C-alpha cells in the first residue's frame, strides 16, 4: 500500500496544525523525520501534498483530496480502538450523544445518569441541537447516537432507528390565564395567543394549525406571533409571565419547578405528539457503550408510557 495509516495521521496532523514542527510533536517524531516521511509519500504518489512558506503550511489540492478520503478511515480506526478497549473490559472511552431540546428534558439526562453510574470512566458529551443540525454530525462520525425527531428524516437508507414511545404534547399557560376561565376550549383557541415553543418545522406547525381549524399557508398567517427558543426554562419563564401559550409534555411539566405557576390546558390537538427515535449509522456495528445507552434511554422513556 502506497499510503499507510501512519501517513494519513501525519498528513492530517500537519493540515490541522499548519506546521511541521507542531505536527511532529503530536506524532512523536522529530521534524526532520516527519519531513522525510512526507517527502517519501509525495515521491511515491507523484504529487505535492503541501505548500510551504515561512508563515504556514497548507494542503495542496492533492493534499485536500487525500485528507477527504482519509478522514473516514482515521475515524473508523479510532472507533475500532475505542470499541476494542471497551470489549476488553477497560470501560474507558467516550460517548457523544446528540439530542433535541425536548428529549433532553424528558429522558436523556435520566439515561445518562444511569449510564455514568455503571460506567464512571466513560467520558460523555451531550450536544443539544435541532435534528437537521445533528444528523450531518452523525454522518461525519462526530456524534455516536442521536435522539432525533424522526419526522424530519427524509433519507433513512444508512440509518438504524429505534423508535421511542410517543408522548402527547399539550398546551400550557400560567395558572390565571384567560384560557383557564373557559369551559369550552377548542384547539383553535390556543392560536389566539402567542406561542412559546421549541423549534418545529414550519410545515408541521402549519399542519397543526390547520387541524385546529385555521386557514393558514405560513407562520405569518397565524393570528399571533411565535416565540421560539430551544431552552425550556426560557420558554417556561415567558409563559409564566405573559399570556403566551407553551407546548410541553406532561412529564416535563410534572418535573418542573414552575408546576405551581403553569397548568396544562385540556385541549386535544390531533397528531400533536413526539416522534423521537434513537438514530445511529447502520453501516457500523454499535459499540458496547452505545448499546448500553440505548438500553437506558428505552427504560427512561418507558416510564412515561
- CATH number for the domain harbouring residue 198: 3.40.190.10
Which grid cell sits at 132? 437537521
3-class DSSP state of 196: strand
DSSP element (H, E) containing 127:
strand 122-128
Contacts of 81 (CB under 8 A, 6+ apart): none
In this predicted structure, what is the pLDDT of residue 270?
64
| Residue 29 shares a structural domain with residue 158 | no
In this predicted structure, what is the pLDDT of residue 86?
55
| Residue 173 shares a structural domain with residue 257 | yes
| Residue 285 shares a structural domain with residue 240 | no
| Residue 132 shares a structural domain with residue 180 | no
| Residue 158 shares a structural domain with residue 280 | yes
3-class DSSP state of 280: strand
In this predicted structure, what is the pLDDT of residue 96?
92
In this predicted structure, what is the pLDDT of residue 90?
45
In this predicted structure, what is the pLDDT of residue 145?
94
3-class DSSP state of 120: coil
In this predicted structure, what is the pLDDT of residue 120?
86
d(CA 133, CA 262): 31
In this predicted structure, what is the pLDDT of residue 85?
60
| Residue 196 shares a structural domain with residue 63 | no
Stretches in the chain below the pLDDT threshold 50 = 1, 89-90
The position carrying cell 466513560 is 122
3-class DSSP state of 118: helix
Domain boundary residue among 16, 42, 73? 73
Say what the pTM is: 0.66
In this predicted structure, what is the pLDDT of residue 82?
65
The answer to whether residue 270 sits within a structural domain is: no
Which grid cell sits at 226? 411565535
Cα angle: 25, vertex 28, 30; to 5 degrees = 70
pLDDT, tens digit (0-9, with 9 covering 90-100), for 255-268 = 666 566 788 888 76
DSSP string, 37-61: HHHHHHHHHTS--EEE-SS-EEE-H
Query: What's the domain range around 57?
Result: 5-73
Contacts of 69 (CB under 8 A, 6+ apart): none
- CB 166 within 8 Å of CB 274: yes
DSSP code of residue 222? S
Q: What total number of domains does the chain contain?
A: 3
Amino acid at each position: 500500500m502506497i499510503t499507510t495509516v501512519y501517513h494519513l495521521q501525519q498528513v492530517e496532523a500537519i493540515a490541522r496544525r499548519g506546521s511541521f514542527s507542531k505536527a511532529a510533536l503530536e506524532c512523536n517524531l522529530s521534524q526532520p523525520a516527519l519531513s522525510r516521511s512526507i517527502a517519501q509519500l509525495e515521491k511515491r504518489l507523484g504529487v505535492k501534498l503541501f505548500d510551504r512558506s515561512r508563515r504556514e503550511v497548507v494542503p495542496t489540492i492533492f493534499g485536500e483530496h487525500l485528507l477527504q478520503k482519509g478522514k473516514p478511515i482515521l475515524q473508523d480506526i479510532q472507533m475500532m480502538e475505542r470499541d476494542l478497549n471497551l470489549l476488553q473490559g477497560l470501560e474507558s472511552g467516550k460517548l457523544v450523544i446528540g439530542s433535541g431540546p425536548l428529549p433532553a428534558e424528558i429522558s436523556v439526562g435520566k439515561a445518562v445518569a444511569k449510564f455514568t453510574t455503571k460506567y464512571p470512566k466513560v467520558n460523555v458529551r451531550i450536544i443539544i441541537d435541532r435534528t437537521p443540525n445533528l444528523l450531518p454530525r452523525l454522518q461525519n462520525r462526530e456524534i455516536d447516537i442521536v435522539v432525533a425527531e424522526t419526522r424530519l428524516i427524509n433519507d433513512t437508507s444508512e440509518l438504524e432507528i429505534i423508535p421511542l414511545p410517543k408522548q402527547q404534547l399539550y398546551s400550557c399557560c400560567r395558572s390565571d390565564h384567560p384560557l383557564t376561565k373557559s369551559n369550552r376550549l377548542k384547539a383553535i383557541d390556543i392560536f389566539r395567543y402567542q406561542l412559546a415553543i421549541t423549534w418545529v418545522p414550519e410545515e408541521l406547525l402549519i399542519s397543526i394549525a390547520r387541524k385546529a381549524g385555521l386557514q393558514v399557508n405560513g407562520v405569518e398567517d397565524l393570528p399571533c406571533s411565535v416565540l421560539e427558543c430551544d431552552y425550556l426554562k426560557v420558554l417556561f419563564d415567558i409563559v409564566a409571565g405573559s399570556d403566551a401559550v407553551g407546548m410541553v409534555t406532561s412529564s416535563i411539566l410534572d418535573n418542573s419547578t414552575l408546576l405551581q405557576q403553569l397548568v396544562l390546558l385540556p385541549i386535544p390537538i390531533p397528531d400533536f405528539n413526539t416522534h423521537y427515535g434513537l438514530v445511529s449509522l447502520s453501516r457500523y456495528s454499535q459499540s458496547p457503550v452505545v448499546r448500553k445507552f440505548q438500553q437506558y434511554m428505552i427504560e427512561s422513556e418507558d416510564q412515561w408510557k
